[in-house]
Amino acid sequence: MSATFHAKGSGAQTTTAASFSIVCTISAGDSVVVTGSWSSASAITPTVKTTGGTGSDTFTAVYGPFDSGNGFKFGGWLLQSAGSGRTGAIVSWASGNPTFADGACWSFSGLTSPVLDQFNAGIGNGAGAITSGNTPVLTTADEFAVAFACSAASITANGGIWTDDGTISATSSWFEHSVRTVTTAIQSTFTNSTGSWVTWILTFRGTTAATLPFGPFDYSKGPFRIRRTQIDPSRSLNPNLFKNPVPNKNFPNIPRDVRRFLPPDASRPTNPNLFKNPVPNKNFPNIPWSVERLLPPDIPYNQALYTVTVTAQTLRTPFFTPAFFPKTSLPASQPYNQSLYTVTITLMGQAWI
């Protein structure tokens, strides 16, 4: 389904108001674009919502806002799918109300979950033809494009490939749209009477949901098993791919028993620079390795190396022989003192010994 233009509308304010409304016919499910300009003296970014019906839909800022440097700020908002009963949009500022503001609104359908694709803007001063400059090449050949121009004086005309959507009488801005069926780059085309001006262009394309490359799958059936394909002997092999009827066994039929190596081919000479012996990994005399049959040593046995002389000696304590537990007793010459062993206790006037 291709992009289809539905309706347009515009609105403005020139008295430092906090908002202005745009009347536009919007069907349920329509995509809606709003773009416009306002005084660069306002530091607050406006918000855009739908009017009419139950509740409101909030637009998403997709372009800017930008400061042109010559008195204007400008930006763009997108609503992918509008609710039922919508009658237009309202652009409002929470604070920092601009001295002037204007905008245009377009409703369209036919693009799935549209997003901003390409854009460009032109800024200048003076009378005559003005343009945004070319956008990059469009991503798809089915897009919806809009353009807007504002001036310190007035925009007097549009032209080129665009459908003229008219002027905004309060601010003398102009807006236009185009349904694109090719990917060729495009630009806005207007005429300015005099003074500073800004013009810009936005294009929108549809998006598609990512799909599985081999789906859809029915996971309730469990894992999908691929059956092994039987070899068809009636089909010949490609000799350019397979040099052997059994391609994964392209080698001589060697016995599997590794202990039965093939005997060396004595008819093929060895390279003396590489191998000094016909058996390169056994370059030593043929000596039996059984431990029971070791050859006698070449060096005579030296008895003096294995003779030990032991001399008997009396072990002595190196310094002294202490008595670790000596017996101590009082000398018998000391007299016995009875007072040391007599305790007198007086109890109830009576002495007890």
Residue 228: per-residue pLDDT: 75
- The mean pLDDT value for 302-321 works out to 70
C-alpha 34/C-alpha 8 separation (Å) is: 10
- Cα 145 to chain centroid, rounded: 32
Residue 105: per-residue pLDDT: 97
- State yes or no: pLDDT of 249 exceeds 60: no
- State yes or no: pLDDT of 192 exceeds 60: yes
> How confident is the model over 148-191, as pLDDT tens digits?
999 999 999 998 899 999 999 999 999 999 999 999 999 999 99
> Among the listed ranges 120-134, 187-201, 273-287, which one has the minimum average pLDDT value?
273-287
Residue 314: per-residue pLDDT: 66
Q: Quick check: 134 and 172 in contact, CB under 8 A?
A: no
Residue % of the chain over a pLDDT of 70: 70
Say how many Å lie between the first and final Cα of the chain, rounded: 132
Q: What's the Cα-to-Cα distance from 145 to each of 80, 180, 205, 344, rounded to whole Å? A: 15, 7, 9, 129
- 132, 137, 138, 144 alpha-carbon torsion, rounded to 10°: 30
- The answer to whether position 228 is within a domain reads no
The strand pairing partners of 281, in sequence order, are none
How confident is residue 8, by pLDDT bands cut at 50, 70 and 90?
A: very high
Find all residues with CB under 8 Å of 61, minimum gap 6, and list them.
Answer: 45, 48, 75, 76, 77
Residue 309: per-residue pLDDT: 77
How confident is residue 116, by pLDDT bands cut at 50, 70 and 90?
A: very high
- The mean pLDDT value for 81-95 works out to 95
- State yes or no: pLDDT of 218 exceeds 90: no
C-alpha 205/C-alpha 215 separation (Å) is: 26
- State yes or no: pLDDT of 127 exceeds 90: yes
Higher-pLDDT residue of 286 and 84 is 84
How many domains does the chain contain in total?
Answer: 1
Q: 80 is written with which tokens?
A: 């992918």
Residue 325: per-residue pLDDT: 61
Range of the domain at 177: 4-205
Collapsed DSSP state (helix, strand, coil) of residue 159: coil
Q: Quick check: 94 and 39 in contact, CB under 8 A?
A: no
How confident is residue 241, by pLDDT bands cut at 50, 70 and 90?
A: low
Q: 282 is written with which tokens?
A: 């056994």
- Cα 130 to chain centroid, rounded: 42
C-alpha 8/C-alpha 33 separation (Å) is: 9
- State yes or no: pLDDT of 106 exceeds 90: yes
- The answer to whether position 51 is within a domain reads yes
- The mean pLDDT value for 96-121 works out to 95
Residue 272: per-residue pLDDT: 67
Residue 200: per-residue pLDDT: 96
- The answer to whether position 307 is within a domain reads no
Pairing of strands 345-347, 350-352: antiparallel
- The answer to whether position 333 is within a domain reads no
Residue 222: per-residue pLDDT: 72
Q: 300 is written with which tokens?
A: 């005579």
- The answer to whether position 224 is within a domain reads no
Q: 241 is written with which tokens?
A: 């791919």
> Among the listed ranges 183-187, 279-283, 323-327, which one has the minimum average pLDDT value?
279-283
- The answer to whether position 227 is within a domain reads no
CA nearest to 61, candidates 91, 88, 87: 91
CA nearest to 145, candidates 317, 315, 241, 5: 5
Q: Quick check: 148 and 106 in contact, CB under 8 A?
A: no
- State yes or no: pLDDT of 133 exceeds 90: yes
- The answer to whether position 85 is within a domain reads yes
Pairing of strands 88-92, 173-180: unpaired
> How confident is the model over 35-56, as pLDDT tens digits?
999 999 999 999 999 999 999 9
DSSP state at residue 58 = B
C-alpha 36/C-alpha 45 separation (Å) is: 12
Phi/psi of residue 214, each to 5°? -125, 10
- The answer to whether position 272 is within a domain reads no
- Cβ count near 277 (within 10 Å): 10
Residue 244: per-residue pLDDT: 58
